[in-house]
C-alpha cells in the first residue's frame, strides 16, 4: 500500500528501497516534543535564534575575533545541538523507528560520535524546520488587511489549547482534533467563515483573533 502525504498540511513522505516513512506534525505529535516553552525553544533553535542572539556581540569585535566566533558557530559542537533537536522533531512526528533515516549518536572515546543515516544532516534539519512550521505556526495564507496580534512573539505553545479549540468549535472527537496540524486547523477556520462581501473561504487575521477570543471567553465561562 502506497502512502500519499498531503504536503499542503505539513505531511511528508520519505521513501527508501525497503519502506516508506510518513511524517505528520499533528498536535498529538508536537505535544511529544516537550512542554509549551520547550516547543518554542526548539522551534527557535532550528530557525537560528542562537546565531541571531550572538550577532550584535560578534559585530562589535575585531575581524580576527569575528572569524573566531564564526568558526565556533559553524563548529560540530554547535551544529550538533541543532541536529540532535532536528532528529528528535522528526522522530516525534513519525510512528516508526527512523534511526535508519536520521542516524544515531553512539558512545566513543571522545564522548559521542554521530553515525550517519540515509538522510544528510542538512536535509534532516530542513525537514524538521518544515514540520515545526506546519505544526506550530501554520502555513495557511491569510489576507493581511491590518496588523494582527498573532504576529507577536510567544514564549510558549500550548498544544492542548488548540486541541480544545478544534473540539469545541468544530464538534470534533479528541482523536480527530489531536490529528490536526496547525495549518489544517487554520484551513478549517478559513473555510468555515464565508462573509457575503468577500470571496468564499477568505478571512482576515482579525477574524481569526475574534474566533480565538470567543473560545477563551467560553472556556472561562465554563470554569
pLDDT tens readout for residues 87-107: 999 999 999 999 999 999 888
In tens, the pLDDT along 123-135 reads 999 999 999 999 9
In tens, the pLDDT along 75-88 reads 555 578 889 999 99
Per-residue confidence (pLDDT) for residue 189, from 0 to 100:
86
Whether 127 and 214 map to the same domain: the answer is no
Per-residue confidence (pLDDT) for residue 86, from 0 to 100:
95
Burial of 104: CB neighbours in 10 Å, binned 0-12, 13-18, 19+: middle
Whether 81 and 17 map to the same domain: the answer is yes
Per-residue confidence (pLDDT) for residue 201, from 0 to 100:
46
In angstroms, the CA 114 to CA 80 distance is 9
Q: Which of 51, 53, 52, 33 is nearest to 43 (CA)?
A: 33
**Which of 137, 166, 190 delimits the end of a domain?**
137
Residue ranges making up the domain that contains 158: 149-222
Whether 131 and 159 map to the same domain: the answer is no
Please tell me the total count of domains within the chain.
2
Whether 89 and 13 map to the same domain: the answer is yes
1 within domain boundaries: no
Contact 180, 169 (CB under 8 A): no
Residue 214 CB neighbour total at 10 angstroms: 13
Identify the segments of the chain with pLDDT beneath 50.
Answer: 145-151, 196-197, 199-202
CA angle 99, 111, 121 (to 5 degrees): 40
Q: What is the reported pTM? A: 0.76
In angstroms, the CA 90 to CA 87 distance is 5
Whether 127 and 17 map to the same domain: the answer is yes
Whether 218 and 128 map to the same domain: the answer is no
Whether 127 and 167 map to the same domain: the answer is no
Per-residue confidence (pLDDT) for residue 3, from 0 to 100:
76
Whether 110 and 27 map to the same domain: the answer is yes
In angstroms, the CA 170 to CA 200 distance is 19
Q: Which of 25, 20, 76 is nearest to 182 (CA)?
A: 25
Per-residue confidence (pLDDT) for residue 1, from 0 to 100:
59
Whether 101 and 179 map to the same domain: the answer is no
23 within domain boundaries: yes
Amino acid at each position: 500500500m502506497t502512502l500519499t502525504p498531503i504536503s499542503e498540511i505539513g505531511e511528508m513522505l520519505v521513501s527508501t528501497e525497503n519502506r516508506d516513512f510518513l511524517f505528520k506534525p499533528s498536535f498529538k505529535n508536537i505535544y511529544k516534543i516537550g512542554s509549551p516553552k520547550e516547543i518554542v525553544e526548539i522551534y527557535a533553535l532550528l530557525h537560528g535564534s542562537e546565531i541571531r542572539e550572538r550577532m550584535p556581540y560578534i559585530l562589535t569585535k575585531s575581524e580576527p575575533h569575528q572569524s573566531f566566533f564564526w568558526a565556533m558557530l559553524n563548529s560540530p559542537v554547535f551544529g550538533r545541538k541543532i541536529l540532535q533537536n532536528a532528529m528528535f522533531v522528526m522522530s516525534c512526528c513519525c510512528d516508526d523507528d527512523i534511526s535508519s533515516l536520521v542516524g544515531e549518536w553512539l558512545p566513543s572515546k571522545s564522548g559521542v560520535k554521530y553515525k550517519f543515516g540515509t538522510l544528510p544532516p542538512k536535509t534532516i534539519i530542513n525537514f524538521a524546520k518544515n514540520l515545526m512550521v506546519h505544526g506550530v505556526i501554520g502555513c495557511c495564507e491569510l489576507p493581511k488587511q491590518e496588523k494582527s496580534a498573532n504576529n507577536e512573539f510567544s514564549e510558549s505553545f500550548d498544544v492542548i489549547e488548540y486541541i480544545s479549540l478544534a473540539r469545541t468549535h468544530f464538534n470534533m472527537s479528541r482523536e480527530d482534533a489531536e490529528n490536526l496540524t496547525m495549518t489544517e486547523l487554520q484551513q478549517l477556520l478559513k473555510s468555515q467563515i464565508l462573509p457575503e462581501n468577500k470571496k468564499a473561504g477568505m478571512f482576515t487575521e482579525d477574524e481569526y483573533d475574534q474566533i480565538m477570543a470567543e473560545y477563551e471567553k467560553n472556556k472561562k465561562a465554563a470554569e
